[in-house]
Structures are given as C-alpha cells and as structure tokens.
Amino acid sequence: QQPVQSPQAVILREGEDAVINCSSSKALYSVHWYRQKHGEAPVFLMILLKGGEQKGHEKISASFNEKKQQSSLYLTASQLSYSGTYFCGTSSGGGADGLTFGKGTHLIIQP
Amino acid sequence: SQTIHQWPATLVQPVGSPLSLECTVEGTSNPNLYWYRQAAGRGLQLLFYSVGIGQISSEVPQNLSASRPQDRQFILSSKKLLLSDSGFYLCAWGTGQPQHFGDGTRLSIL
C-alpha cells in the first residue's frame, strides 16, 4: 500500500525550514528519500533502516519511527537548490523487492 | 564508482509498435535491478525487479515484459504499445534495496 506524504506542497522563502512527512499503514523495514527536479530522474538523498535511526546530509536530515511507521525529512535553512519534488519510498520486507513510493511533496523555495 | 546508463533518453512511438529500453550498470557485480514508471505529475510505480540473470519478478500485470540477459543489463520490452504506456521509465539499481536511478527514458505514444 502506498505511503502517504504530507504536505502535498509547500512554498518557503530561502532560509526557512521545512518538514515533510511520510506515513505508512504497514510495518516498515526501511524508508528511502529522494528529490526530483522537473524533467529529471529522482536523486537519492538517504535511507533509514528499522531501529529509529536518524541521518543527516548537509542541512537535510531525516528520522524514522518504526513503531509509528512514520518518517520525516527535515530541511533547515533552505536554499534555492532545494526546490523540487520529494518522494519517500518504503519497504516492508527488507529484501530486494523494490520500493513503494508516495505521491510526492512539491517544495518551492523563493528568494 | 558505480554508474547506471539508460537509453534512449526520449522516444516517440506509434500505438501498436514494439518497444525496447535498455539499462546497464557499471562498477558493481550482481546488482538488484528495477524498472519503474512515472506517469506525468505522478509518483513512481514499480514494474519489474531482478535479483539475477534470468530472474524477473513482475509487480503489475500489463503488456510490458522485462529480461536480464547479462548480470548488469536489464531490458524493458513490449510487443505492442498502448497509449497508456506513455510515461517516464526509470531503471534503478541497488546492492540490497534499490537506491540509485538512471536518467530515465521519456516515452510518448502517438
């Protein structure tokens, strides 16, 4: 079943912070986060594995609460380059059987 | 380092024509390979995945098929394209779970 992302869209000024949420109705083994710019392929940001792990990537970090089957992506002091659509992809089995993606969150950063 | 290549980048095909999209991975052995499709303005839908040569798992029944003739090669095919096959086709690879996507093929059906 497809994870639910919220919000669907958000508009920020450069330097503001954003939080994107990903929620699943199934128990999760991992959550993957990607950013896609218009007309391009998704770019891998990070993977979070079962265990409540939190990861960071420059000013972008994420958390994973396996009990709540939720993950959140945190964008701090947003830059213009952060604009795009963010997708979470989830896996319940931890095997090689692919990810189920949410519908995406459109992020627009204005100067 | 590992790289993934997809071609062609864009393709315009008439309804009923065949299709062959190719994906190759360099710099790794025995990767898990995946085909996803993204309809305009939508999320990504898993079509096929493969854990080894000749091993294909299908996620969505449709008129598409996939093959893996070599360790690092993954091919998406169709004998007769439908209008609904239009979209952005993405190949992905991972040593465990999928992580990295190729640049994609934008397929338009006329």
* Residues pairing with A52 in the sheet: none
Calpha distance A93→A61 (Å, rounded)? 24
Residue A67: partners with Cβ closer than 8 Å, 6 or more residues away: none
Residues 88-107 of B with CB under 8 A from A: 90, 94, 96-104
Mutation pick from B95, B97, B108 vs chain A, by most beta carbons of A within 10 Å, is B97
pLDDT at A55: 66
DSSP A73-84: EEE-S--GGG-E
Q: What is the pLDDT of residue A106?
A: 97
Return the residue in A29, A44, A45, A87 with the most chain B beta carbons within 10 A, the one to mutate for interface testing.
A44
Cβ of A44 and B101 within 8 Å? yes
Would the CB atoms of A41 and B46 count as touching at under 8 Å?
A: no
**Residue B59 sits at the chain A interface (C-beta within 8 Å):** yes
pLDDT tens-place string over residues B46-100: 999 999 999 999 888 679 999 999 999 999 999 999 999 999 999 999 886 667 9
Q: Considering only CB atoms, which chain A residues are within 8 Å of B59?
A: 98
Q: What is the mean pLDDT of residues A78-95?
A: 91
